[in-house]
Every structure is written in structure tokens, then in C-alpha cells.
Structure 1
Amino acid sequence: MLWFKCDEIIPGVAIAVGFIAICLGGFFLSYEYDPIVNVEILCSMAEEGENQRDIFRQAGKTAVILGHTGETGRVLVKLLAQEKLFKKVTLIGRREIPLDKEVVGPEFEQKVVDFEKLDDYEEDFKGHDVGFWCLGTTKAKSGEEGFKRVDYDYVLKTAELAKSGGMKHLQFMSTHSADHTSSLLYTRTKGQVEEALKVMHFERLSILRPAVLMVDRQESRKMEAFARFVLTPVSKLFPTAITVPIEYVATAMINIAVSTTDKNCETFENKEIHVLSGKSPICQKKEKTKTK
């Protein structure tokens, strides 16, 4: 028979839980209210992205999405199909997936490639103005070597082919805290890819670093599902701290593509992605402050 002193243990546990909650709250609060240095520029880019769509359509540009079968890629395809910003969109992946013909128009074309023989598909990477690189896997799914093969080798090789094929603007979906010197495989690999892409000298390179993506994945990832469950209330209280809805990421990518800049390389952190999506109240608050 187990026995313990409830009057001693329960209050102690309650104090410990309360202390941890206060610490986490302070941590999230510091992230949430950490000022964005270039907020005016980001708000301007989001507004330009919204306002310049008609002009952008008339330019008749083409795009390619790498990783269109993933969660971000799927949302991006849906939004681009609705907006009809490009005269042609090539979807490159290792397999073909059913597309909703009521949403996706004839300007979308799927290309199936063997990533182990990418040189054989050089023609598929030619003639694109904008590239959205959303390709990625996990160590749990593919193992360490498989992860590096996909997230490093495939990403860089396809970027090289796209660059030699005339691509002007590449957008790469990286991750929060990406750092080529990190001790963690995931963030280190993403950081290494970022550094390698920079020396390819695209006319414009846009790197997005979203934190935890809020999305119900079609592919089951238990740890991510648990993290989203725990972080759902956090995302309500501190929406820009360490989470971002996947629709915000896709919309931000579109706004970045449509907007103009004099920078050759730009990196957008999680909070900045919220602003670039045009869905964050941050820009509205800034506008109200100016008019007062």
C-alpha cells in the first residue's frame, strides 16, 4: 500500500508547476514583444505584395515549386492557383499527386524526377523566374544520412540547376534558429544550406525561417503533433513568439515574390513572416500610431 503526505507533496508540486509556468510565460512574452527592427519595410512589402498583384500578373512570369507534395507546398499551390499570378507553374517532385482540377488550372504542370539522377532532368529546371524551395524530410523518417541527402544534397543540386537555367529569384524555406555551426543536425543542416545558397549569387535570394508550423499534417509526426497540441494555447496568447500558421508562410512567400527590393539576399525570421503575410495586426497598430 502506497502512502504519501498529500499536505506536503501537492503544495510543493503546485509551486513547482506555477514556477515553471511563470518562467515559460516570461520566455514567450520576451519573444512576443521583442521589437522588429525593420517593421516599416516589412509592412511596406506586405502592402506592396497585396497592391501590385495585377501588375505582376501582366509581367507573365513563371515559377517552380520544389516540394509541392509537402504541407507548405500544398498550401502554396492552392494560393497560387487562386491568385493566378504566374502564367506557368511547374511542380517538381519525386511523385505525382492528384490535383483538384476545380482549383488548379492548366498553367500548373507536374514533373516527376529521380533525385538521384538530377542531371538527367536539367531541362525541367530551365526558364523559371521564381522558385519556391519547400523540399524537406526528417531524421525520424529518413535516418540521418537520408535527411542530409534530401535537405542538403537535393536542395543545393536543384538550386544549381535552376540558377543555370535562368532563375532570378529563389525562396528557400529554412527553419527557426538555423545556424551552420549548430550542434543540432536539423538546424545545422539548414544553416549550411543557407550559406551554400548565398554563394550561388542569385539575383535575389529570400530565406524564410518559420518556427513551429501550425498545421494538421497529412503525414503523421508524433512529436510535432504533440508540440502543436501543447503550443496551441501559446499561439493564442503569444501568436508570433514561436509558432506560425502554415497559411501565413505561404502567403508571405507570395508577397515576397510580388514585392520589390534592392537587396540581393534577405532573411526573414518567424515574427517577420507574420508581418509579411499581411495577416498580422502589427502593421495596423503601426499605422494607427502614425495617425495619432
Structure 2
Amino acid sequence: MAGATGLVGRAVLARLLADKRYSAVHCVGRRAPAQHDLKLAVHLTDSFNEFTVPPPVDDVFIALGTTIKTAGSRAAFRAVDFDAVLAVARAGRIAGATRLGLVSAMGADAHSAIFYSRVKGEAEEALLHLGFPTLVVVRPSVLAGERESLGQPPRAGEKIAIGLSRLFGGLIPANYQAISADKVARTLVEEVATRQGHHVILSGEMQRHEAR
């Protein structure tokens, strides 16, 4: 798994560690996650293009993501949300993984005029060519969760969207209501374990998703 120190990634990792279907979880990243567990192996790296995970690997989960503001430039944003995503997926495939779960974003579209959405969509399309028999992509809307505990500054846009969802939830389409990081993580882990083929799951469907 990559991206375990982020809002959704932290929730995904917690579910993987608690899931009896997994005997070992390998985490790759620049920083170690806060969680500690006997079945967790952490691989620290400064470059996602230069790491290898010892096989066998069954599933890959990618929750990497940043913002253009945080990254500092469009090129730096793309280096995370496209280049690093593809590097992790390739490494997992080489190690034998047959199932891949990706946290993308609502509006992801390789042909979008919006740079953020276009990069997200291009990453989704590129993953299709890696040969994973199962590829599950979740596209959450604005995320609800505590970023302060991750050492991340709160995002003004998220606070506004969360407030609007609470006030006018019934009037806002489900796909664009704020969604908890835990709901996204729960959906991704369960769908990767039970689906075959390529599936894109929108935020509204995740709002209704029940644990199996």
C-alpha cells in the first residue's frame, strides 16, 4: 500500500491490518505510518521509482494524492498523482499482484479542461494498461476527516463543503456531498476483495455502501 500517512490511506491501512484475509501488509512511502502491527512491514523511500517489494504480493492499494498548492507546482503535483501512482502499481504487478485499488477523485477525466481532474483521469487510464485482472477505482467527493492529527493543515474548501453538506445534505446530489475517509476506505477494501474486472465507484455509491 502507498499513501498510508494520508487521510484516506490511514483508514485503508487500519482496515487492512484488522482484516483476517491479509497475513502481511507492506507499506511504502517517505514517512512511516503511525500504526504499529506485527503484520505491518514499512519500506521507506525517497523515490517511488526506485523501490521494490519482495513477492508474493496479492493486492495493491494506492491512496497517494496531494494538491497543487501543497505540491508547489503542476509538475510536482503530477509527480505524485500520476508518476508515483503508476510506479507503485507497476512494482506491485511485477511482484505478482492481481488486484489493485485506487483512490481517485470525483470528476476524474483524462480529457478534462481542469488540470487536477485531467491528471487524475490520466492516471486511471494508465492503470488499465498494466494488466490487473481486478482494478477498483473509488472517486470520493470532498473528504471529511481530521487532518490536524496527520500534521496536515485544514483545507478551507473541505470545511465549507462539509458545512454545506450538513446544512443542505438533502438538496446536494449524493456524488457531491462530503464523505468520510472511513467510508471511502471501507468501500475500497471490500470491493477489491470481492470484485473482478474494472469498476469505478462514485462518491454517492460509497455513501450507501454497507460493510459486508
Same fold by TM-score, threshold 0.5 exceeded? yes
Matched, 1:82 2:82: no
Paired residue type of 2:39: E
Matched, 1:197 2:133: no
Compared CA separation, residues 215 and 232, structure 1 to 2 (3 A): farther
CA distance in structure 1 between the partners assigned to 2:14 and 2:170 by the alignment = 25
| Aligned pairs for 1:95-114 within 5 A | 95-99=31-35, 101=36, 105-114=37-46
Paired residue type of 2:26: T
2:67 corresponds to which residue?
138
Aligned counterpart in structure 2 of residue 259 of structure 1, from 189, 194, 204: 194
Q: Give a deviation string over 1:68-118, Cα, whole Å, max 9, x none.
A: 00011111122233333300001111112432x4xxx300111101216x2
Compared CA separation, residues 106 and 235, structure 1 to 2 (3 A): farther
Q: Gapped runs of 5+ residues in structure 1?
A: 1-64, 280-292
CA distance in structure 1 between the partners assigned to 2:31 and 2:101 by the alignment = 22
Aligned counterpart in structure 2 of residue 128 of structure 1, from 54, 57, 66: 57
The Cα of 1:197 is off from its aligned counterpart by 0.6
3-state SS of the aligned residue for 2:167? helix
Paired residues of 2:165 and 2:172 also in contact (CA < 8 A): no
Deviates further, 80-89 or 242-251:
80-89
Q: Which is helix-richer, 1 or 2?
A: 1
| Larger radius of gyration between Structure 1 and Structure 2 | 1
Taking structure 2 as the reference length, what is the TM-score of the superposition?
Answer: 0.88
Paired residues of 2:26 and 2:40 also in contact (CA < 8 A): yes
Paired residues of 2:134 and 2:195 also in contact (CA < 8 A): no
CA distance in structure 2 between the partners assigned to 1:258 and 1:236 by the alignment = 32
Aligned counterpart in structure 2 of residue 276 of structure 1, from 204, 209, 212: 209
Taking structure 1 as the reference length, what is the TM-score of the superposition?
Answer: 0.65
Paired residues of 1:137 and 1:151 also in contact (CA < 8 A): yes
1:247 corresponds to which residue?
182
CA distance in structure 1 between the partners assigned to 2:65 and 2:124 by the alignment = 14
Q: Output the aligned Cα RMSD.
A: 2.1
Q: Give a deviation string over 1:235-272, Cα, whole Å, max 9, x none.
A: 466583412221111111121133143xx211111122
1:163 corresponds to which residue?
93
Q: After TM superposition, where is structure 1 displaced by more than 4 Å over at least 4 residues in a row?
A: 236-239
Paired residue type of 2:41: E
| Aligned pairs for 1:17-36 within 5 A | none
Q: Percent identity?
A: 26
CA distance in structure 1 between the partners assigned to 2:195 and 2:138 by the alignment = 16
In the alignment of these two chains, the number of paired residues is 206
CA distance in structure 1 between the partners assigned to 2:90 and 2:46 by the alignment = 16
3-state SS of the aligned residue for 1:205? strand
Compared CA separation, residues 260 and 230, structure 1 to 2 (3 A): closer
